[in-house]
Chains A and B, each alone.
Chain A
Amino acid sequence: MVAEAVKENFVELVLSALQSGLASLASYLAAHVLLCLVPAFFIAGALSALVPQQSIIRFLGPDAPKWVSYPAAAGAGSLLAVCSCTIQPLFAGIYKKGAGLGPAITFLFFAPAANILALSYTGVALGAEFAIARIVLALSFGIGIGMIMAMLFRRSEAVRQAEGATFSAGDGISRRTLLFLAALVALLIAGTLKVDFLKAELVSGQLPWPGAVAVQAVLERWVPVNEALGAEGLSLQGAVLIVLLGLIGAAAWRGLGQVDNGFNRQTWLALALTAATLVFAALGVRVTESGLFLALTGRSLAVAALCLLLVPLARRFDAWDVQQWLWETWRFVKMIFPLLIVGVFLVGVVRAFIEPEWIQAVAGANTLLANLAGVVFGVFMYFPTLVEVPIAKMFLSLGMHPGPLIAYLMADPELSLQSILITAAIIGKLKAWTYVGLVALFSTLAGLAYGAWVDGTPLLMLAAAVFGFVGLLVAGLNLIERTRQARA
């Protein structure tokens, strides 16, 4: 009898975990991922295919002054490096031939946190303030860590082979590319920004469909709303969006995946479906007793107009450039999306087993220990690109304080096993581990500062405290270096 009961409990547990995973997947696909990630993938593809890398690299030569090379390194991080096959040669190149260790480190630090995919995803899933905090903190601390590294190892720096020629040539970014990118970014923003004129309902009407209520009831049975578990349920609109996403995937498999052999019929199908999905997602759809309530919002108009605008802008490029753009976009989707889906599902499964009390006990307040816990979790757990975001969302809903959450978000993508190994191979073990130590230190600091700001500490006082601490650190390191030199 007892064994029977245990078995029954176990089956129930597994079922509820699976259900939690599916619910998390459904609500992500229907609500969060879609509107921001679809344009973001197209932007990433455009950056990778249409922006000549030389346009930024030319600012990273050995003779570039510091005030140019550090911001340029950060720019290279956010614009060029959306995948690891760009990060590694660029990092090695900046370090060995160009601006040196400092900017190379800035580039390495900034790239995973501030590329377009990570930023837009963070903004939509966690809130704009987290995205802004992520970019501001990553920028200032990335430059800070780069400068500290350059200073610490300035004597071994001199042996680098400077090679100016690699950096000299190169064009800027052409105007048609800038315009095209601007339209894509506008599309991303129009689809996600929460302002009133986009949310305003312009035209609305009722679509009589008595079955709507029944369909919604079925969806709610499949994916129940559970406030305590953070499951948001699945709306009728969300279900249609998931179907549309599947259709885009099917059409894009050949349509975008083989577009470099020339446009085919499925290419146009995939693009038209993508535009239709974005416009449909911007509609207001509600289930009422007598049928469906449909509303045309400012958002749907803006999204449709921008999609149309993209057509003439894209026509100004050579066919090969457009093919490259679509091919790169699909490559990013194929590389990142499957891992993201598995990640979101597993986060949902794990979510069912974690008691909020545990998280609140460890990281419920903005203490030094809580921030350290966030950093340690970030360093030892390795998640593929972007999966850190649903994990952070889970922690947030479980009651983690925003401070430790930022500490985790800073440490997780910066310090993966992969990035540590790359750095160690190129700049040597000593420098690599110093870098790891500095990132851990600065991530903790970032978490503490952001947490204090959320708790109401004035910004000016915080800035003074952070600058004071960094100044103290730099002065201390300088002192150590000088005594070592004096002894030698």
Chain B
Amino acid sequence: MLIKILGSGCAKCNRLEQLTREAVGELGIDANFEHVKDMEAIMAYPVMTTPALVIDEVVKCSGRIPSKDEIAGWLRG
């Protein structure tokens, strides 16, 4: 599973990455993380706001921090 965090490295983006890592750890999923900071690369996805969570190239949410349960739901699905 490839998980991308889109964001300029702000506090919210780091928090999202931390939450996602915790969710991944609790579920015992094997996943690769990538923190995309380049504006051009971020704009290639259909997002206008950061932080955004991309799982296997599908944007799951943007502009807010989801709860850990919500993230776990996406990871399982």
Contacts and interface: CB of A to CB of B under 8 A. Distances in A.
Interface string B7-30: 111111101000000000000000
B43 A92 contact: yes
A86 B52 CA distance: 12
A89 B48 contact: yes
A85 B48 contact: no
21 contacts: A49-B64, A53-B48, A53-B49, A53-B62, A53-B63, A54-B63, A80-B49, A83-B10, A85-B9, A85-B10, A85-B11, A85-B13, A86-B49, A88-B8, A92-B39, A97-B43, A163-B46, A260-B15, A260-B65, A324-B65, A426-B39
Contacts of B39: 88-89, 92, 425-426
Given A53-B49, A83-B10, A331-B11, A89 B64 contact: no
B47 interface: yes
Nearest to A328: B12
Contact of B43 (A96, A167, A425): A96
A93 B10 contact: no
Given A52-B64, A83-B10, A331-B11, A89 B42 contact: yes
Choose among B10, B48, B65 the residue with the greatest number of A CB atoms under 10 Å from its CB: B48
- Going nearest first, the 7 A-B pairs with the smallest beta carbon separation are A85-B10, A93-B48, A53-B63, A320-B67, A166-B46, A53-B49, A89-B50
Nearest to A88: B8
B27 to A, nearest CB: 18
Given A85-B10, A93-B49, A96-B43, 11 more contacts: A49-B64, A52-B63, A52-B64, A53-B63, A85-B11, A85-B12, A90-B48, A93-B43, A97-B43, A166-B47, A260-B65
Interface residues of A, number: 30
A125 B7 CA distance: 35
A165 interface: yes
Nearest to A87: B8
Contact of A166 (B13, B15, B48, B67): B48
Contacts of A89: 8, 39, 42-43, 47-50
Contacts of B46: 163, 165-166
Choose among A49, A54, A93 the residue with the greatest number of B CB atoms under 10 Å from its CB: A93
Choose among A86, A98, A163 the residue with the greatest number of B CB atoms under 10 Å from its CB: A86
Interface string B37-62: 00100110011111000000000001
A86 B43 CA distance: 13
Contacts of A57: 48-49
A426 B38 CA distance: 12
A90 B39 CA distance: 11
A84 B9 CA distance: 11
B49 A90 contact: yes
B11 A97 contact: no
Contacts of B48: 53-54, 57, 89-90, 93-94, 97-98, 166-167
Nearest to A98: B48
Contacts of B11: 85, 331, 335
Nearest to B12: A85
A383 B66 CA distance: 33
